[in-house]
A and B are shown apart, each in its own frame.
Chain A
C-alpha cells in the first residue's frame, strides 16, 4: 500500500492534485464548511464546487487542446481569439443575421462554429508545420487578427440570443451535473485513448524532445504538428461555444480575453514542461481546475476588487514554488542543515 502511495507521489499529477485539494480545503476552513455546501435546485446540483466545475470547463477544454502543442515545444496563443470567432459564428447563425436560410438552427450553428475553429487551427498548423514559422509568432497572427474577424462577423455588436437549446451547452444539466462537464469528459477520453492507446503520444513527446531526430526515425513531424494545432483550434471553438452559451450572446471583445495565458498556466501548473517533452493531459486538467478554484475562492472570500489580481498572482507564485524541484531541494537543504546543527 505505502509502496503504491510512494509511486503515486512520483507521478506528474501528484503535486497538482495536492495543490488543488489544499486550495479547496483552505476555502472550506475559511468559509466554515459553507464552501462545500451542495443542494438540489430545480433538479440539479447547486454549489460552489459545481461552479468551479462549470466555469472551469472552458479552461479544461482549452488545456486539453493546448497541452499537446506545448508538449511538442510549441505553443498556441490564439485560442482566446478563436473562442471569440466560434462564439460569433454560432450566435450570429442562431440569431439569424448569418445564413438566415437555416432559420437559426442550433445544430448548424454548432457545426459551423466548430468548423471555423478547426479552420483556424489548420491555419496555425500550416504556418507552423509547412511554413516553419515559430509557433508563438504564427499563432500571434490569429490572436491579433482573430478578434477582428469575430467583430467583422457580428458587425461589431454584442449579439444577444434567446435560444434555450443553445443555452443548454453551458446551463444544461444531465443527471444533475452541468452539461459542459460531459463535453470535457468526452474530449478527455478521446485524447487519452489517442495519446495513450496508440503510439502518437510517444511521437508527440519525441518531437518535443528532439524534432530533428524524430524526423530521422521516420515520425511524420509535420503531419503530427498540423493535427495538433488543428485539434487545439477545435477545442478553442468548443470553449467558445461554452462561453457564449453561458452569457446567451457573443461578446467578441471580451470572450476568452487573455484566456490563452490561463490555459498555458494550467498546463505549466500541471507539470508539463513548456520546452516540450513529457506531458500529462490529466495533470493539465487538474491545473485548469486549480486556476478556476483560485478565481472562485477570491470571489468566495470576498477580496476587495482592487487587490483581487494581487491575491491571485500571490497564490500562483506559491503554487509554482511548491512545484519547483530546485526550491523544494533548497527548503529541504535548509531544514536538514538545521537538523544537523540542532543535533
Chain B
C-alpha cells in the first residue's frame, strides 16, 4: 500500500514536470505543407543579456508574424553538439531556411554540407563560422574587428594615450573573442604606442569568471592597471565588482571599456562606474527574417549584411538608459 502511494506521487510529479516542459514550448512540431516561411533557428543558449535580447528580437518578430512565419527555435545550452543536433533535425523537418549563431568557429563543415545537399540555405547570425563561403547563404552581424578597433580608440582617448591595461577575453575559440582581440590589439600596436596590454585572460563571457579573473589581475598588477577592456559588458560588470572590492574606483581609477551595450552597463555608466560601451546590436530579428524570405523566394542576398551600431559614452548614459531594450 505504502509503495503504491509513493508510485502515485512519483507519477503525478513526472506528469507535472512534463506539462511544465511543454509550457516552455520550444518543442518543434511537424512543419506540414504550408505556404509559411519555415525557419529553424539554433541559438547558442543564454550566456548574457545581449544574447537574450537577440533571442527575444527573433522570437518577437516571428510572434508578430504568426500567419507568415513558422519559427522552430532550439536552445543549445552553449554546446556545439546540441547545435549540430538541432540543425540535423531541422534538415529532417525540411525547413526553408536554417538560422544559426555558431557557439564556436570551427567544426561546421560536415553538417553545413548536409544542409546544402538538402537544398536548405544557412543564415549565420552574429557569429561567423570558419567554413567555405559556398556552404552558407549569408552572414548577418557586426564587424567584430571594427568593434575591437573602436574600443582601442576609445580606451586610448580615455587614458590620454598612455597607461597599462588588461583584457578580459571571451570564450576561447569564439569569433567574437578572436576578432575583438585582434581588432583591439592591432589598433593599439599600430596607433597607440603608449598603451600597454599587460595581461589578457579569458572570462568566458560570464560575470562570475570576469570577476574572478579581474580579482587575480588586481593582485598581480595592483594600482598599475589604468584600464580594462572587456570583450562583453557582462564580464566588465563582474570586473567592476572586483575593482570595487580592491578599494579602487571603477570608471575613474580604472577606466572600463567593453562591447555590446546591454542595459546593465548603461546603469553602471550612469552611476559613473563604467566609461564606454561599443554597441553590438542584437535586435537582428527583422533583418534576419527579411533575408530568410528573400532566400526562400529564390532571390540573392549579400554575403555579409552588417548591423547598425553606435558608440555610447558615460556622459550620455543616463539619457540613453530609458531607450535601451536589452
Binary contact track B49-60/A, C-beta < 8 Å → 1, others 0: 100100100000
Q: Known contacts being A47-B219, A296-B216, A299-B213, is A171 close to B245, with CB within 8 Å?
A: yes
CA distance A147 to B77 in the complex (A): 10
Q: How many A-B residue pairs have CB under 8 A?
A: 102
Verify if B307 is at the interface (C-beta below 8 Å from A): no
List the A side residues contacting B52 at CB < 8 Å.
156-158
Which residue of B is nearest A157, CB measured?
Answer: B52
Verify if A12 is at the interface (C-beta below 8 Å from B): no
Is there contact, CB below 8 Å, between B49 and A158? yes
Q: Known contacts being A34-B220, A46-B246, A51-B219, is A305 close to B200, with CB within 8 Å?
A: yes
Is there contact, CB below 8 Å, between A157 and B49? yes
Is there contact, CB below 8 Å, between A254 and B208? yes
Q: Known contacts being A46-B246, A247-B241, is A253 close to B6, with CB within 8 Å?
A: no
Which of these binds chain A: B40-48, B61-69, B133-141, B275-283? B40-48
Q: How far is the CB of A224 from chain B (nearest CB, A)?
A: 17
Which of these binds chain A: B16-24, B98-106, B250-258? B16-24
* B206 CB contact (under 8 Å) in A47, A254, A300: A254
CA distance A248 to B241 in the complex (A): 9
CA distance A42 to B10 in the complex (A): 52
Q: How far is the CB of A247 from chain B (nearest CB, A)?
A: 4
Within B203-217, the residues touching A (CB, 8 Å) are 204, 206-208, 211-213, 215-216
Verify if A152 is at the interface (C-beta below 8 Å from B): yes
Within B7-29, the residues touching A (CB, 8 Å) are 7, 9-10, 13, 17, 20-21, 24
Which residue of A is nearest B201, CB measured?
Answer: A305
CA distance A249 to B238 in the complex (A): 10
Is there contact, CB below 8 Å, between B46 and A151? yes
Q: Known contacts being A171-B245, A254-B47, is A302 close to B220, with CB within 8 Å?
A: yes
CA distance A74 to B137 in the complex (A): 50
Which residue of B is nearest A308, CB measured?
Answer: B202
* A55 CB contact (under 8 Å) in B46, B212, B246, B264: B212
Chain A residues packing against B (C-beta within 8 Å): 34, 37, 41-42, 46-48, 51, 55, 123, 126-127, 130-131, 145, 147-149, 151-152, 156-158, 160, 171, 243, 246-249, 251-255, 295-296, 299-300, 302, 305-306, 308
